[in-house]
Structure 1
Amino acid sequence: MPAVSRAQARTFRSQKAAYRLVTLASGLEQPWSIAFLPDGRLLITERPGRLRVFANGKLEPQPLAGVPEVRARGQGGLLDVCLHPAFARNGTLYLSLAAPVAGGALTRVVRARWGEGGLADVTPIFDATPPGSGGNHFGSRIAFDRAGLMYVTCGERYQMQRAQRLDDLGGKIVRLRDDGSVPPDNPFVGRRDARPEIFTYGHRNPQGLAMHPDTGRLWSVEHGPRGGDELNLLKTGANYGWPLATQGIDYSGAKISDHKSLPGMEDPVRAWVPSISPCGLVIYSGSAFPAWRGSFFIGGLSASSLFRVEIDGERYVSEERLLADMFDIRDVRQGPDGMLYLISRSDNGTLYRVEPA
């Protein structure tokens, strides 16, 4: 990655490391996700429907061709970008998006082949049916596990009862093969009353998903209503409670549930009251910040901060708030150089790098 002048950097100190925030590029319209190509270039999605490239220290002016139509309304649009684990060999990547369909819109995942200047062979491989008419709660992060299986987070489209219905893909995290087909050992395969794609359910609007680099287990973060944001360790077939158990209340102040916890449902490892609006999750494993290894980094939208959370196995230990009240963080990723990369939620969004001071 290119050197940046001191005028573009600010230095901070956390509990375990000194770090510098470097501005790399601005002028992004509602950026949503980052992915790193093997040659060091960055792909950045913009919610209105553009896939951008950051290379050689600058944002390339023209978006890539081949991005499918999106419904850029409310919280919808072009959302996540994720490379296939064998991208260097097969050139395959995935986009998640709010797709316009009869009945409104739904969370869709498309598979595509990378080519210089644009995408080819763009094929839809998953739809979080049924569609909804509103513009909220699409999810939708994508991550792969060590076995090469793909996980996709699906919001409940602001219709809370969908999260508990097993015949409905709203409010679920699904598990798929890389072509969108269903693994035969998914927890609800063979049940007539359940969708076979489902891995976990009872979610509201999960917008962070990451595999732990040491254990291989999947973790997610999701938005609660007023309060009740969650960090969850994903367990096969588990119910995460929404809306039957929550630490949040409705935006009106009304009670959603009498229960913060219920038998047979998974409690969050960490819940935030008031909300931080968690968006983006990475579990740090790089060499640039040795004291941060194993830390969970979570972007905060309403909290306008980066959260560093320490976890011991399945137990929450502590956290600290970095870059407090500076900008709304939409995504956080670890780069191949061991640095952290952030994007801000804005019509004039910015790409940042966090590097040792």
Structure 2
Amino acid sequence: MVSRRRVLLGLLGLSLVRAQGIRVEEVVGGLEVPWALAFLPDGSFLVSERPGRILWVQGGRASLYAELPVYHRGESGLLGLALHPQFPREPYLYAYRTVEEGGLRNQVVRLRHQGNRGVLDRVVLDGIPARSHGLHSGGRLAFGPDGMLYVTTGEVYERELAQDLSSLGGKVLRITPEGKPAPGNPFLNRSGARPEIYSYGHRNPQGLAWHPRTGELFASEHGPSGEQGFGYDEVNLIVPGGNYGWPRVVGRGDDPRYRDPLHFWPEGFPPGNLAFWRRDLYVAGLRGQALLRLVLDGDKGHWRVARVETALSGFGRLREVQVGPDGALYVTTSNRDGRGQVRPNDDKVLRLR
């Protein structure tokens, strides 16, 4: 159990907790299903709320930055955020959302930063599968070290979409900031394949992180929840053109046609995002309600998980984890998403030092 010592300093004040040598501060509370963070150069940050709002948090206080129409049901709505890597010279924020007008689908949109507001600029990528149940929409956005935008998409509970190269569902996509297929993508010249695809065979990938030294891409992914057993949530090392097996393989298949996960939880640990911090890989847990530290051993292309430790618990469901410009680790709770126990002042953004 995590020892807890709270000092509440007003509605949006600080809450101090010590957990296994980590100091935890509550930066802001009273949020509604926060999904992703995007840090501005001055250390303030934007946070998406799944019902369709983006808030700007400065000095522990949140103000409305943008509000977008979304289809908010199940796991869908306003999800990932990513700031252009050349911001503010390129004054753009990217967002992943589910929309209903003109046909239900997921899309990546771009907002222009104007003073203290974000204004919808254009649709960058459209036609990502979505379904009325709102499940398995993927939704993570992140710019890689190559300056390209990576997008995770789910297979919307239609399992074969993950293996279908003509569909954007069940994939990790790689596009330019303008929404074009990125140069060097593995299926650029394959007839019938979507050129935006970077990897495939994914059920519902939820997180992206690059190794700070080798530049390799790691992703977190939800395993089955009844359609092919339960559990087997994964962390994968993503390679261009890799097939990660869903729905042909659950967990480790030892089949050369498919990429085995770097690590998986047979009993289940549905992940949110993941991030490298102080040489280790941290994975946020939703149903697992903990932040795990994965200690890696090896080197480029040959990693193994040496051990797994609980770094933080006691805050309920955790979704976002990201390193801020101050070197601290930021984590969001997701207790108001209909699947958690709501705690006082939920949902929250926490800062770990």
Q: TM-score, normalised by structure 1?
A: 0.87
Partner of 1:140: 139
Paired AA for residue 65 in structure 2: L
Deviates more, 1:153-162 or 1:111-120: 111-120
* 8 Å CA contact 2:79, 2:97 repeated in 1: yes
Contact 2:130 2:137 (C-alpha < 8 Å) held by counterparts = no
Give 1:337's aligned residue: 326
Could you tell me whether the CA contact under 8 Å between 2:38 and 2:82 is conserved in 1? yes
Larger displacement relative to structure 2 (213-222 or 121-130)? 121-130
Counterpart in the other structure of 2:37? 34
How far, CA to CA, are the matches of 1:223 and 1:320 in structure 2?
A: 20
CA 1:51/1:121 → structure 2, altered by over 3 Å: closer, same or farther? closer
Aligned to 2:193: 194
Gaps of 5+ in 1: 248-258, 285-292
For 1:317-328, what aligned pairs fall within 5 Å after superposition?
317-328=306-317
SS in 1 for 2:89: helix
The structural deviation recorded for 1:131 is: 4.3
Correspondence for 1:11: 18
Shift of 1:102: 4.3
The answer to whether 1:260 aligns with 2:279 is: no
Alignment length (residue pairs): 325
Which residue does the alignment assign to 2:272?
Answer: 279
Residue of structure 2 in register with 1:150 after alignment? 149
1:22/1:233 Cα in 2 relative to 1: closer, same or farther (>3 Å)?
A: same
> Shift of residue 325 of structure 1?
4.5
Q: Deviations over 1:79-104 (max 9, x none)?
A: 0111111013221110011122444x
Q: In 2, Cα distance between the equivalents of 1:31 and 1:109?
A: 18
Partner residue in 2 for 1:231: 235
**Alpha-carbon distance in structure 2 between the residues aligned to 1:192 and 1:98:** 28
Q: In the TM superposition, what is the alpha-carbon distance from 1:260 to its structure 2 partner?
A: 3.1
TM-score by length of 2: 0.88
In the alignment, the residues of structure 2 paired with residue 27 and residue 324 of structure 1 have an alpha-carbon distance, to the nearest angstrom, of: 19
Q: Distance in 1 between matches of 2:348 and 2:130?
A: 32
Q: Distance in 2 between matches of 1:228 and 1:101?
A: 35
Q: 2:17, 2:268 → 1: CA distance? A: 27
SS of the residue 1:163 aligns to: helix
Match of 2:216 in 1: 217
From the superposition, tell whether residues 324 and 100 of structure 1 become closer, same or farther in structure 2 (CA, over 3 Å).
same
Q: How far apart are residue 215 of structure 1 and its match?
A: 1.1
Distance in 2 (alpha carbons) for counterparts of 1:132 and 1:192: 27
Q: Secondary structure at the match of 1:310?
A: strand
Asked if structure 2 preserves the Cα contact closer than 8 Å seen for 1:106 and 1:129, the reply is yes
Distance 2:128 2:351 in 1: 37
**Structure 1 match to 2:296:** 311
Aligned to 1:255: none
Distance apart, 1:235 and its partner CA: 0.4
Following superposition, the deviation at residue 129 of structure 1 comes to 3.5
CA distance in 2, matches of 1:221, 1:200: 13
Could you list the per-position Cα deviations for residues 17-71 of structure 1 after superposition, in whole angstroms to 9, with x for gaps in the alignment? x1111112211011111111111111110000000111122223xx223x43111
Matched, 1:116 2:115: yes
Amino acid of the residue matched to residue 352 of structure 1? L
Instruction: Determine the C-alpha separation between the residues in 1 that align with 2:108 and 2:77.
Output: 12
Q: Secondary structure at the match of 1:162?
A: helix
Q: Distance in 2 between matches of 1:129 and 1:309?
A: 31
1:128 shift after superposition: 4.2
**Paired position in structure 1 for 2:280:** 295
The question of whether the paired residues in 2 share the 8 Å contact of 1:128 and 1:154 is answered with no
Whole-angstrom CA distance in 2 between matches of 1:262 and 1:128: 32
* Contact residue 315 and residue 333 of structure 2 kept, 8 A: no
- Partner residue, 1:73: 73
CA deviation after TM superposition for structure 1 residue 117, in Å = 3.1
Return the alpha-carbon distance in structure 2 between the equivalents of residues 117 and 337 of structure 1: 22
Counterpart AA for 1:117: N
User: Aligned partners of 1:294 and 1:98: how far apart in 2?
Assistant: 35
Q: Is the 8 A contact 2:28 2:61 kept in 1?
A: yes
C-alpha distance in 2, partners of 1:223/1:333? 19
- What is the rounded CA distance, in whole Å, between the counterparts of 1:261 and 1:204 in structure 2? 18
Relative to 1, partners in 2 of residues 1:325 and 1:224: Cα closer, same or farther, differing over 3 Å? farther
In structure 1, the residue corresponding to 2:161 is in which secondary structure?
helix
Matched, 1:270 2:263: yes
3-state SS of 2:330 partner = strand
Verify the 8 A CA contact 1:241 1:262 in the aligned structure 2.
Answer: no
**d(CA) in 1 for partners of 2:156, 2:212:** 31
1:134-171, Cα deviation, whole Å (9 max, x unpaired): 31011111112222111100011111111001111110
- 1:233-274 per-position Cα deviation (integer Å, ceiling 9, x unaligned): 110101000010003xxxxxxxxxxx8342211000001121
The residue number in structure 2 matching 1:125 is 124
* Shift in alpha-carbon separation, 1:265–1:165, aligned structure 2, 3 A: same
Counterpart code for 1:329:
L
- In structure 1, the residue matched to 2:178 is 179
